[in-house]
Chain A
Amino acid sequence: MRDVRVIARLDIKSPNLIKGIQLEGLRKLGDPQPFVESYYAQGIDEICYMDIVASLYDRNSLEDLLRKTAENIFVPLTVGGGIRTVENAATLLQSGADKVAINTAAVRNPDLIRQISERFGSQCMVLSIEAKSTTAGKWTAFTDNGREHTNRDVIEWVQEAVELGVGEILLTSVDQEGTQKGFDLELCRAVTNVVEVPVILSGGLGSLDDAKVAVSQGRADAIAVAHALHYNKFSVAQLKNSVKEAQSESAA
């Protein structure tokens, strides 16, 4: 059987956990530490920190946050935002991260994917994609929280990136992010159709049924959840039960 993971996604504007709508219009939720401690106690599968400002000035506090988290939280930690070089990745991995998620720098210099996966292994190298729907069945990759257009077609880009050594894809729908109107299942299916690495679907979960269809219809290997966890709308157990139900239904 396949195991579909439930990942808590925490967008960080140092030093605070924030929550945006369509990656804009930020609301401040405070110190991320109590949030991740609660998710760990509830049995979360992974934690993902995304530094949404990623200014050089704030890098030290991101490393501090990672170290503090890795002190007492023994599940995989992914960190993304502002990683531009192999050295940036090395610093974050030494601070307790298990994987790095890269968007902008990979778009600008795809060879960075190869360099990071060769040095640390492809299991470390997560490609972060911010996808916006353009015409029917087409998506364009964006950067900078959905503000900057890259001219890259998402489906072509994921294939190129996997060739270069990406071990996992964090797929965020900019259209759905923060809306609680459900994941972009068509986007997820289009990506899982063309790559053979795990895909984490992010952006839009509003109901437990959304978690189920992410697995049964989107064929996601993991779901990333922010709003519904941060606002206590659902517990980790409820989300995990939903993906489990979808898995056993699809196996039956």
Chain B
Amino acid sequence: MNLTLIDYGTGNLFSVRRALEVCGANIRVIHHPNEAKNSDRLVVPGVGAFGSCITELHRLHFNDAIKEHIATDRPFLGICVGMQMLMTTSYEFGQHSGLNLIPGTVQEIPNRTDSGEVRKRPHIGWTSLSEGQPWSNTILSQTTKDDRFYFVHSFSVVPDNPAHILALTDYDGHEIVAAVKKDNIFGTQFHPEKSGPAGLAILKQFLSL
């Protein structure tokens, strides 16, 4: 199993790399799109702002490499902003085009609850997941409703087609899309590499798809 992790210069690859390693992956960290060819698995992490992430991804020409990988039907995983970049449009600090691999938008979490209380941002914390599409034969097939995952974000994805929602979570009365799936494309808003044993179980599942 060879897994390719794209390094496009944003943030901390240390933990993602180490977590995947512990799960048994043979990892290549790549800095050039040509190196993405013939990977069994492709992973795109991402922290920080959508705009700077997608700009760097394009500048380094990783956008086509990601699309080529997905066209081979091999599994793909985007984490946090790595998942948000799969969408059509993001409204984080202006308007930015994403990769449009899953139709939908990236929207700000409302900063007030329905009763007018403050809903803090960023959303930082551990929550459990509820089912969107069935979890069997997905990265969540070993996940239980009691498992909790680490989220840190102020924006979240809203797929146009509800069939692309794999899991949801609740943040202070607001429903957040926690994971997406479209064919061989997976994405998580939470950080499996920072979610203890329950997170590692998801990465293991991704490797055994």
- Interface residues, chain A, CB within 8 Å of chain B? 1-5, 40, 43, 45, 67, 70-72, 74-76, 93-98, 119-124, 167-168, 196-198, 221-222
Given A70-B15, A74-B194, A74-B199, the answer on whether A3 and B126 have CB atoms closer than 8 Å is yes
Nearest-neighbor residue (CB-CB) of A4 within chain B: B125
Check if B196 sits within 8 Å of A98, measured CB to CB.
Answer: no
Q: Which residues of B contact A1 (CB under 8 A)?
A: 170, 172
Q: Which of A2, A40, A74, A96 contacts B172 (CB 8 A)?
A: A2
Nearest-neighbor residue (CB-CB) of A43 within chain B: B196
Q: What are 28 A-B residue pairs whose CB atoms fall within 8 Å in the complex? A: A1-B172, A3-B126, A3-B148, A5-B124, A43-B196, A67-B14, A74-B193, A74-B195, A74-B197, A75-B194, A75-B196, A93-B12, A94-B14, A96-B14, A96-B15, A120-B11, A120-B48, A121-B49, A122-B122, A122-B154, A123-B48, A167-B122, A168-B124, A196-B121, A197-B120, A197-B121, A198-B124, A221-B124
Roughly how many angstroms separate A8 CA and B145 CA in the complex, as a whole number? 26
Per the 8 Å Cβ criterion, residues 168-200 of B in contact with A are 170, 172, 191, 193-197, 199-200
Check if B126 sits within 8 Å of A40, measured CB to CB.
Answer: no
Q: Contacts A96-B14, A121-B11, A123-B122 known; list 20 others, CB within 8 Å.
A: A1-B172, A5-B124, A5-B125, A70-B15, A74-B19, A74-B200, A75-B194, A95-B14, A96-B12, A98-B15, A120-B47, A121-B48, A122-B154, A123-B47, A123-B152, A123-B153, A124-B48, A196-B120, A197-B121, A222-B124
Q: Which residues of B contact A196 (CB under 8 A)?
A: 111, 118, 120-121
Q: Which of B22, B49, B152 contacts A76 (CB 8 A)?
A: B152
Check if A98 sits within 8 Å of B194, measured CB to CB.
Answer: yes
Roughly how many angstroms separate A60 CA and B46 CA in the complex, as a whole number? 27
Report whether over half of chain B's contact residues are helix, strand or loop; otherwise say mixed: mixed
Check if A76 sits within 8 Å of B120, measured CB to CB.
Answer: no
Given A5-B125, A123-B122, the answer on whether A74 and B196 have CB atoms closer than 8 Å is yes
Residues 106-143 of chain B, each 1 if its beta carbon lies under 8 Å from chain A, else 0: 00000100000010111011110000000000000000
Closest CB in chain B relative to A82 CB, distance in Å? 19
Given A75-B150, A168-B124, the answer on whether A40 and B18 have CB atoms closer than 8 Å is no
Q: Which residues of B contact A198 (CB under 8 A)?
A: 120, 122, 124-125
Roughly how many angstroms separate A45 CA and B126 CA in the complex, as a whole number? 8
Roughly how many angstroms separate A224 CA and B47 CA in the complex, as a whole number? 24
Nearest-neighbor residue (CB-CB) of A45 within chain B: B126
Interface centre among A74, A93, A95, A119, by most chain B C-beta atoms within 10 angstroms, is: A74
Q: Which of A40, A75, A121, A168 contacts B47 (CB 8 A)?
A: A121
Nearest-neighbor residue (CB-CB) of A195 within chain B: B120
Nearest-neighbor residue (CB-CB) of A193 within chain B: B118
Given A3-B126, A3-B127, A76-B194, the answer on whether A70 and B153 have CB atoms closer than 8 Å is no
Closest CB in chain A relative to B147 CB, distance in Å? 11
Roughly how many angstroms separate A114 CA and B152 CA in the complex, as a whole number? 19
Interface centre among B11, B111, B118, by most chain A C-beta atoms within 10 angstroms, is: B11
Q: Please provide the 3 A-B residue pairs with the shortest distance between their CB atoms, ordered closest to farther.
A: A121-B48, A3-B125, A96-B14
Q: Which residues of B contact A120 (CB under 8 A)?
A: 11, 47-48
Nearest-neighbor residue (CB-CB) of B203 within chain A: A74
Q: Which residues of B contact A4 (CB under 8 A)?
A: 125
Closest CB in chain A relative to B198 CB, distance in Å? 10
